[in-house]
Amino acid sequence: MISDDTKKQIGCMINKQYKDDVELALCCRSCCKNTADVMETLCHVIVGLSAIVAFAAGLWDMKILTYVAGIMNIVSIVLSKFAGYNTSESKQYTIEINKITTQIGVGQIVDISDDLSGIAVVNTVSQVNNVANVTI
């Protein structure tokens, strides 16, 4: 049989671990969400610049600008995927936190990431690709 002191010590260790796990998950969740927001913003900016470069390639008949616009599109797609990955990681951390907080009876936190992340970016990138193809 386990003594009451041992049970208290184990309870204290478990409570401390819960606290540490929730603090770490909250920090990682916020970091992933912020990274996703920055990457998605950069993606939109690069797509806009890529469209300008693609139009300039058609206007000045410079093949190198078409190449640059294509590279910019690829970079924006990579940033979009990275933003999506960080958004899903943020959601996973939210699920992890909610499991712990529900188990200890504290309640749940709201998911701070939206479900529409990346949809507009993919559509915009495909539109710019179509414009670049027309101007070649």
Residue, of 97 and 123, whose pLDDT is higher: 97
Q: What is the mean pLDDT of residues 70-95?
A: 95
Q: Which residue from 65, 64, 56, 117 is spatially nearest to 91, judged by alpha carbons? A: 117
String of DSSP letters for 58-75: HHHT-HHHHHHHHHHHHH
Owning domain of residue 82: 4-135
Residue, of 49 and 123, whose pLDDT is higher: 49
**Which tokens belong to 97?**
């936190």
> How many structural domains compose the chain?
1
Residue 53 has pLDDT above 90, yes or no: yes
pTM over 0.85: no
Span between the terminal Cα atoms of the chain, in Å:
81
Q: Is residue 35 a contact partner of residue 84, using CB atoms and an 8 Å limit?
A: no
Dihedral Cα 41, 43, 45, 51, nearest 10 deg: -150
pLDDT tens digits along 100-125: 999 888 888 888 765 544 444 444 44
Q: What is the mean pLDDT of residues 84-96?
A: 94
The owner of tokens 């599109």 is 73
Residue, of 79 and 113, whose pLDDT is higher: 79
Residue 112 has φ and ψ, to the nearest 5°, of -90, -5
pLDDT tens digits along 2-32: 898 999 999 999 989 999 999 999 999 999 9
